[in-house]
C-alpha cells in the first residue's frame, strides 16, 4: 500500500501504508517505548499526527483495559514498524497509519524545526501530491477554538470512590481528561463528578464540591475561556487543582501567561525538580504549551531539569496546586502519585488516604 508524509516546508517522505486514509495534522513525537495503547487513547493527542521514536510499536498486543478513553485520538500514526495487531486496531478505528520510514530523521527534524504541520496520504495509488494537498489543507487551518467539544463529555457523569479513603467530592472539568486521573481519585476514596469543558459557574455550584479539578486536554489553553472564567471565579472560594492543560488554565486565570513550545514534552522520562525538597522525580508528559509567566499569584514549586519550564504551581493561601506533568502516569513512572494525596488533603487535611486495591 502506498503512503506519503508531506512535511511543512515541502519535503515528502515515502513510507509503507498500513491503514488507508488521508489527513492533515500537527506532527509530534513521543519518546515513550511502552504505553502505546495509553498514548493513542490520550485525548491530548487530538488532531495531531503521532510519531513514535521507539522503533517497534505493538509488540505486547492491545488490551482495552489500558485505554485512557473510548477511542484513538491522533489523526494518524507514524512508526518505524507497527505490528499486525496494532494495525488491525487502528484500522478498526479508521486511523491512517504508516511505517517503514526513518523515524529518527523525523524526530530530528521536529527537534530542530519544531512541531510542524503535515499531510498524510495512504492507499493504493496515492501520490506525493495527495499528501501535499493534505498539507495545504492543514496550513489553512487555524488552532481550533472548539477542540474541547471534541474530547469532553457531552453530559455530566459520576464516578464513585472506593469505600475506604478520603471522604471527598471532587468536581472535575473535563477538557480531555485521561481516565486514569479519575481512577487515581477514586482509588483514594473520592467521588468524582465530571462536567463538560464548558460548564458554567452555576453548574459547578450545583455539585457542591470539596475540590475543583481542571483536567488535561489538547490544544491552546487560550481556547478554554469559559474554564478560565470558572477558575477566576472559584479561586479563593474552593481548593483548586489542575494537571497539564489544567495548570495552564489556572495560570491564565490568576494573571499568568502561556506560550507554545517548539516541540513540547511527550514521553515518560522527563526529570522534574522540586525546589522545596531538591528531589528529582521522573515524569510522564504530553503537552505542546507551557506556562510562560506564572504571574504574581502563583509560586513555581517544581521545574523541568532539561529546560527550566514550570512543572508545579502552588498558592497555599488560596489552596491551589497544579502540575504540568501527569502524576497518574499510565504509561510511565509512579514517582509523583502523591500529588493526588496532596489534592485530597485540601478537602480534608486530617485524612490519611488509603489506596484501594485494584
Q: Are 227 and 254 in contact (CB under 8 A)?
A: no
Residue 223 marked as a ligand binder: no
Residue 247 marked as a ligand binder: no
The DSSP-derived string for 34-98 is S-HHHHHT-GGGTTEEEEESSSEE-TT---GGG-SSSS--SSEEE-SEE-HHHHHHHHHHT--EE
Residue 288 marked as a ligand binder: yes
Angle at Cα 88 formed by Cα 82 and Cα 91, nearest 5°?
Answer: 100
Residue 245 marked as a ligand binder: yes
Q: Are 267 and 283 in contact (CB under 8 A)?
A: no
Catalytic center residues: 244, 326, 328
Strands ordered across the beta sheet of 240-243: 157-159, 191-196, 169-174, 211-214, 240-243, 320-323, 310-315, 299-304, 257-274, 280-293
Residue 217 marked as a ligand binder: yes
Residue 289 marked as a ligand binder: yes
Distance CA 188, CA 66 (A): 20
Distance CA 53, CA 30 (A): 6
206: which residues sit within 8 A by CB, 6+ positions away? none
Instruction: Provide the annotated binding site for L-glutamine.
Output: 44, 217, 219, 245, 248, 286, 288-289
Instruction: Provide the annotated binding site.
Output: 44, 217, 219, 245, 248, 286, 288-289
Amino acid at each position: 500500500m502506498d503512503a506519503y508524509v508531506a512535511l511543512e516546508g515541502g519535503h515528502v517522505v515515502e513510507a509503507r501504508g498500513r491503514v488507508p486514509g488521508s489527513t492533515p495534522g500537527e506532527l509530534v513525537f513521543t519518546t515513550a517505548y511502552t504505553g502505546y495503547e495509553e498514548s493513542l487513547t490520550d485525548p491530548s493527542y487530538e488532531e495531531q499526527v503521532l510519531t513514535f521514536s521507539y522503533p517497534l510499536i505493538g509488540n505486547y498486543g492491545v488490551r482495552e483495559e489500558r485505554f485512557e478513553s473510548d477511542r484513538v485520538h491522533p489523526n494518524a500514526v507514524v512508526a518505524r514498524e507497527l505490528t499486525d495487531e496494532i494495525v488491525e486496531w487502528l484500522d478498526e478505528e479508521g486511523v491512517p497509519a504508516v511505517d517503514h520510514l526513518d523515524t529518527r530523521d523525523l524526530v530530528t527534524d521536529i527537534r530542530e524545526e519544531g512541531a510542524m504541520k503535515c499531510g498524510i496520504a495512504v492507499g493504493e495509488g496515492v501520490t506525493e501530491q495527495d499528501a501535499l494537498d493534505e498539507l495545504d489543507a492543514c496550513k489553512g487551518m487555524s488552532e481550533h477554538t472548539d477542540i474541547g467539544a471534541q474530547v469532553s463529555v457531552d453530559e455530566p457523569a459520576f464516578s464513585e470512590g472506593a469505600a475506604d479513603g478520603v471522604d471527598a467530592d471532587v468536581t472535575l472539568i473535563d477538557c480531555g481528561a485521561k481516565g486514569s486521573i479519575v481512577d487515581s481519585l477514586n482509588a483514594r476514596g473520592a467521588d468524582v463528578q465530571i462536567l463538560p469543558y464548558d460548564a458554567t459557574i452555576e453548574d459547578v455550584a450545583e455539585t457542591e464540591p470539596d475540590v475543583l479539578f481542571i483536567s488535561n486536554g489538547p490544544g491552546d489553553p487560550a481556547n478554554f475561556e469559559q474554564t478560565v472564567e470558572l477558575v477566576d471565579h472559584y479561586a479563593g472560594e474552593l481548593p483548586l487543582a489542575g494537571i497539564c492543560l489544567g495548570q495552564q488554565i489556572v495560570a491564565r486565570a490568576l494573571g499568568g501567561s502561556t506560550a507554545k513550545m517548539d516541540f513540547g514534552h511527550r514521553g515518560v522520562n522527563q526529570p522534574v525538580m522540586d525546589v522545596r525538597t531538591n528531589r528529582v522525580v521522573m515524569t510522564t508528559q504530553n503537552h505542546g504549551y507551557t506556562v510562560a509567566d506564572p504571574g504574581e499569584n502563583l509560586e513555581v514549586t517544581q521545574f523541568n531539569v532539561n529546560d527550566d519550564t514550570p512543572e508545579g504551581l502552588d498558592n497555599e493561601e488560596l489552596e491551589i496546586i497544579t502540575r504540568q506533568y501527569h502524576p497518574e502516569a499510565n504509561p510511565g513512572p509512579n514517582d509523583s502519585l502523591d500529588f493526588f494525596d496532596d489534592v485530597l488533603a485540601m478537602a480534608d487535611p486530617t485524612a490519611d488516604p488509603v489506596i484501594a486495591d485494584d
